[in-house]
Structure 1
């Protein structure tokens, strides 16, 4: 049996279409096939979806994997593809686009399944699915109402109405007592249109109408319409029958005119129990009555039901006809009810993964109900929460698109300074930053923060949230001092308003600690991180991601203070990071820091740990992520220490180039990677080249982070070596002495990097006594047999490489 995902139930009453099925099977061997309505029925109703479902079941045994993807809306399509990624055992990247690309590539390679079928249902915009279409030995089947499919994308197969034999067989299959002659009469009236035939069979079964009675009613209804079509007439009869049998069920169906062609569960409809007419409320508020009404809608052929009968899917044509028959007053009233129903179904807290299935079920209906035009705060808050849900799930593109629509609409209808307009702008900036549009995010955040401060005040919670986001923008720009000033002010406000242990106050404190780390103040960062960790351990359960974030941050603080063993021990606490999964951002942080601590502790496994970590970062965040580049720098340091200078040089050259592209020439991380590159160039004896790179990096670091920053001190230590080697002994000595003095003041006299600077000064001066004393201190710091100690004993100048902290 093949693996199946999302496949609708098989239609037990499917008939005919043998030639179409065979043609589709043959064409799929040449590439994707799209099933379209025939030219004389372009609105649909000819059975494209049923044909695709039957194909999937009939030929299932020839495939290893069959996956059904609802593609009417991007968010739903992308969610289904993420489910396929899980089935293919692909790591889920933080950016969902990387996951979707990995799905396409894995299918195209035939890994792990060579023979597969992927069906995109209702893909009405070819450009939306084109990036996700796999190639290879598998098959892609598409259903669509849009005729704008070119042969370069997919081979078009028009799906016509039934031939008369299939129509008769279909009707008699639904109503076995029907004679062939009567079935022929019905089929002739309904033009052999599958959807109309299905509704006719359903309404006759539900009402008990005889053939003559049905055809009389059919002709009468057709005479009332200016443009009668078989589907419109058959639908009208079914709708009338349902309204007569149960006005409440028909009103329930009316609500679907404002919903999407996606499953509508009874739980969602139940949310409307206090928001609809008294007649419908009586049905909706009791679960068994509500489910009975759903089943009745299905009996009249006006919706498809899932096997338990607890969710319904209404065909787009039915939704359209329902909407057209509503008066303007009724339309407005039902639209208000649907919007209120969706808002009432909002579970809240979109960052909580347990709420994600509920949001995934709500998202498809936002467009059709035009919630962006909703008049109440609750409805607009649903939009904001859905924007945040999409971001939290990693679908940054969908988050950006929905937020952009919200901001555009609400600026016009509510004004630029409305609280929810500004809140949507804040979330839009987050999404823009996540998709790499950092300059746009920065500009929007700055504008939003100014407006919030003017309109809401500096102590408003949403203002503080945007200020935190501006702090992230400043860190990304390399303005660490400005970020610290802003975050420190935010923290004072958060603590005054909410207390020290309030979760968002702790996040702000966490951000301030990050600023201090970036400024080289590891003591200050450690004190703050210890405080945050204590609070988080008190208010969160064991293994909570935010607690683990504090633990990882504290480990980096210890590393920065030269306590490599302490950092390693903190990260090695059994089970703390394993519970998250290897590709969780916190686990990846911990993996990188563990590799750093292992390298500085002289353990051989450092390189393997760093290699694994880089691969995880590349899969999760891509090659241009700042976090990936930091992991590459750590791997390069491992390669250099292991003596593989070629690999270290390759990694650092690539990191420098990508930092240039992502952060710019003058960002401290770009310059720090350049400083590390000089250590590799220097190790190959190319001191003149290293000196050129080092002087440029040192000047930039002195300008950006100042002369006392650990980045600057590490770079200056290396430049002194190059100056000494190229004959500028006096300048080399001046820089080395100045670096040693500053390192003692910043890092402390016992810090391993300060001891390395002291050893280098003594070595350059030929002061054997001072060099010996420095070696003894290095032995205390590192222990016997450490590679650094071995290099010092061999009279080799010591490097003080840089490890960029997370931004």
Structure 2
């Protein structure tokens, strides 16, 4: 049997379609196939989905993997594709588009399965699924009502009504007592439309109506309608019969008019208790009565139930016809009930992965219930939580789309200064930053923060959250000092309001430590990170993402202070591997481990760095700031190994990408230029190195100051450039100034200070001071470290830069 995912149950009443199944099978060999309603049946009801289900089960043995993707809404489609990524053992990227692209590419390559079948069900917008359509030896089957499918995307296969023989066969299988003549009469009246036939068979079985009774009722119902169609008449008879048998079950069906074509679990409907009519409330309050009502809806052919009867799926045509029957007052009342039901099903804490299945179930229905138009505060909070859930899950595009819709709607309905409008704006800015629209995020955050301070006050929790987000914007701009000032003010407010152990206060303290690291104050960052780590260890279990965040930050602090062994010990105690290799904390830990290994002189450093870069690219894409930091770390490994061509290639790409993402004057861009100058210098191209270093040094002095570790490393390189081009006196002046600043900034025992001291002594030509400098290096790094080897060979020592995480 193939690996399967998301498949609906097989229809035990499926009949006919033999020729159509053969045609679909043959056409799939030439590319994707889309099943469309045949001419004259544009609204559907011809059994496209059932045909796709039957194809899946009939030909399953021909495939290694079969995956069913509900594609009516992008969020549901993406969630199903994430499940497929997990089955394919692909690392899940924080950027969901990267994950989905990896799924498409893996299928196209046939890794690990060459023969696969992917079904996109109810894909009514070709543009939504086109980016995810794989190539390769596998097959793609699509069901849709939209005729706008071009031959370049998929081959259209029209699905018409049944042949009369198949209609009779279906009716007699569902009602064995039915004579062939009566079945012929029913099929003729129902125009051989599969959905109408299925509903007729179901309601006859549920009510015990004879063929004659059904036909009499059919003619009466048809005469009442201005534009009778087989589906509309058959549906009306089923709906009337259900309403008569159980008004509560019919009211439950009415709720489906405001829900999507996605399975609706009894647990979601259970949240309607206290929010519907007294009769329905009596049903939904008790699980067994609620499940019995679901079964009854299924018996009357008005919904499909999963085998355990835990959830129902209502066909879009049924939902549409239910909605058309409602008066404006009834429509408004039921819509309020559904909105309240969805809000009551909200578990809160959308960052908690344990709550994500519930949020996935809710998100599918937001549009159909027009939850954005809800008047109650708790309904709007549901929208905000869904925005945050989509962001936390990594579906930044869906988060951005929902947030943008909420902001636009609520600005009109509630005003731009409304608390929840502003909160949605905050979440929209987060999503914009994550999809690379950093300037838009920065502008929106600035406007939102000003409004929140005016309306809610500077100490409001949502105001503080936006201020934290503004701090992230400032870091992205390279304004590290301004970010520190803002985050320090936030931390004072958080601690005054909530105490220093409150989780959001700890996040703010964590952000302040990030600022200090970026400013080169590793001692200050270490003190803060150790404090935050202690508090988080008391609140969270070991291995929690927030605890690991503190460990990762502390490890980088120690790297910045030159304690490479201590950094390794901190990383080894964090259990980041429990989160999986693609988790952000695991990625950071992997990068920092590679840095520590390289600075300890261990041979496995480059292998660790290469694996880390690949994971970052899969997880965050080629141009994320985190990926670029990992690329710089890998380039440094290649540099130390003497592979100058590879180091230069990596650094030139990193410089170009940093300029594109952060700008030419950002400290990270200039840090990468500094490292590139070192590699060029090692290759003997001294004038080129001097030009690069001059550009970087001026920019770093302007942006982070003369005492920043980035600037000191660049100045050390400038001195080497000057020595190489014969300007010994100027080189000595810069080297002495750099050494003096490094002793103050980094400490006399820091390895980069020791390297600067060695360079000064080497330039002076004083053998005794040079030997003393070598002795200090040997005491620090041991006898076999590459740093000592270069010093003993009389080679100036480089002080390469490792950009911290933003």
TM bin (shorter chain): over 0.9
- Summarize deviations over 1:625-679 as a string: whole Å, max 9, x none: 1111111111111111111111111111111111111111000000000000111
| Runs of 4+ that moved beyond 6 A | none
- Write the distance in 2 (CA, Å) between the matches of 1:458 and 1:514: 22
Partner of 2:613: 614
The answer as to whether partners of 2:21 and 2:55 remain within 8 angstroms in 1 is yes
1:403 deviates by: 0.5
Between the aligned partners of 2:120 and 2:582, the Cα distance in structure 1 is 29
2: CA distance, partners of 1:542 / 1:130: 42
Name the structure 1 match of 2:157.
157
Report how far residue 770 of structure 1 moved.
1.5
Aligned-pair CA distance for 1:687? 1.0
Matched, 1:704 2:710: no
User: Structure 2 matches for 1:250-265, cutoff 5 A?
Assistant: 250-265=250-265
CA distance in 1, matches of 2:88, 2:615: 17
CA distance in 2, matches of 1:425, 1:77: 26
Identify unmatched segments of 5+ residues in structure 1.
none
| Rounded Cα–Cα distance in structure 1 between residues aligned with 2:138 and 2:787 | 55
Match of 1:801 in 2: 800
Cα separation, 2, equivalents of 1:323 and 1:97: 35
Which residue does the alignment assign to 1:414?
A: 414
- How far has the Cα of 1:587 moved from its partner? 1.1
Identify the residue that residue 114 of structure 2 maps to in structure 1. 114
Cα distance in 2 for partners of 1:583, 1:364 equals 27
1:299-333, Cα deviation, whole Å (9 max, x unpaired): 00000100011110111111111011111111100
Residue in structure 2 matched with residue 534 of structure 1 by the alignment: 534
Question: Could you tell me which residue of structure 2 aligns to residue 427 of structure 1?
Answer: 427
Alignment map for 1:127-206 (pairs within 5 Å):
127-206=127-206
C-alpha deviations, 1:417-468, integer Å up to 9, x for none?
1000000000000001111101101111101000100110000000000000
- 1:291-690 matches, within 5 Å, as 291-573=291-573, 576-690=575-689
Distance 1:138 1:578 in 2: 34
Structure 1: distance between partners of 2:107 and 2:745: 54
Paired position in structure 2 for 1:275:
275
**2:749 is aligned with 1:750:** yes
After TM superposition, list the pairs within 5 Å mapping 1:722-741 onto structure 2: 722-741=721-740
Secondary structure, in 3 states, of the residue corresponding to 2:549?
A: helix
Tell me whether 1:42 sits opposite 2:42 in the alignment.
yes
How far apart are the structure 2 equivalents of 1:546 and 1:89? 25
CA-CA distance at 1:563 after TM superposition: 1.0
* Contact 2:748–2:754 (CA under 8 A) maintained in structure 1: yes
**Secondary structure at the counterpart of residue 276 of structure 2:** coil
The 1-side partners of 2:528 and 2:694 are apart by: 35
Judge conservation of contact 2:487–2:511 (CA < 8 Å) in 1.
Answer: yes
- Give TM-score, length-normalised by structure 1: 0.99
**In structure 1, C-alpha distance between the alignment counterparts of 2:787 and 2:51, rounded to whole Å:** 70
State the TM-score, normalizing by the size of structure 2.
Answer: 0.99
1:289 paired residue number: 289
1:572 CA drift (Å): 2.1
In structure 1, distance between residues paired with 2:62 and 2:753: 68
How far has the Cα of 1:114 moved from its partner?
A: 1.1
Secondary structure at the residue paired with 1:39? coil
Distance 1:479 1:647 in 2: 31
Counterpart residue number, 1:12: 12
Describe the superposition over 1:583-636 as per-residue Cα deviations: whole angstroms up to 9, x where unpaired: 211111111111111111111111111111111111111110111111111111
> Per the alignment, in what secondary structure is the counterpart of residue 687 of structure 2?
helix
Q: Summarize the alignment of residues 50-65 of structure 1 with structure 2, pairs less than 5 Å apart.
A: 50-65=50-65
| Per-residue deviation, residues 699-742 of structure 1 (Å, max 9, x unmatched) | 00000100000000000001101111101112111111111111
Partner of 1:365, secondary structure, is coil
Question: Equivalents in 2 of 1:756, 1:310: separation in Å?
Answer: 69
Separation (CA, whole Å) in 2 of partners of 1:40 and 1:611: 59
Q: CA–CA distance in 2 between the matches of 1:36 and 1:790?
A: 72
**Alpha-carbon distance between aligned partners in 1 of 2:44 and 2:742, rounded to the nearest angstrom:** 75
Decide whether the 8 Å contact of 2:121 with 2:142 is kept in 1: yes
Single out whichever of 41-50 and 788-797 deviates more from structure 2.
788-797
Q: Counterpart in 2 of 1:775?
A: 774
Distance in 1 of aligned mates of 2:552 and 2:125: 45
Instruction: Classify the secondary structure of the residue corresponding to 1:142.
Output: strand
Residue 547 (structure 1) shift = 0.7
Distance in 2 (alpha carbons) for counterparts of 1:758 and 1:28: 71
Match for residue 92 of structure 2? 92
**Other structure's SS at 2:506 match:** helix
Comparing 768-777 and 97-106, the one that deviates more: 768-777
**How far does residue 246 in structure 1 lie from its aligned partner after superposition?**
0.4
How big is each residue's C-alpha offset from its partner over 1:259-302, in whole Å with a ceiling of 9 and x where there is no partner? 00100110011100111111111111011111000000000000
SS of residue paired to 1:40: coil
Q: Shift in Å at residue 87 of structure 1?
A: 1.1
Paired with 2:267 and 2:402, the residues of 1 have a C-alpha distance of 24
Q: Secondary structure at the match of 2:500?
A: coil
Q: Distance in 1 between matches of 2:296 and 2:579?
A: 45
> Cα distance, 1:784 vs. partner?
2.1
**In structure 1, C-alpha distance between the alignment counterparts of 2:169 and 2:350, rounded to whole Å:** 50
Task: Give distance in 2, aligned partners of 1:787 and 1:140.
Answer: 55
Counterpart CA distance in 1 for 2:51 and 2:329 is 39
CA RMSD in angstroms, aligned pairs only? 0.8
Which secondary structure state, in structure 2, belongs to the residue aligned with residue 274 of structure 1? coil
8 Å CA contact 2:91–2:581 kept in 1: the answer is no
Aligned residue-pair number: 806
SS of equivalent to 2:337: helix
Tell me how far apart the structure 1 counterparts of residues 195 and 123 of structure 2 sit (CA, whole Å): 20
Question: Alpha-carbon deviations, 1:484-506, whole Å to 9, x = none?
Answer: 00000000000000000000000
Q: What are the residue-to-residue correspondences of 1:784-795 with 2, within 5 Å? A: 784-795=783-794
Q: Distance in 2 between matches of 1:601 and 1:181?
A: 89
Structure 2: unaligned runs, 5 residues or longer: none
In 1, the alpha carbon distance for the partners of 2:751 and 2:181 equals 97
**Residue in 1 that maps onto 2:226:** 226
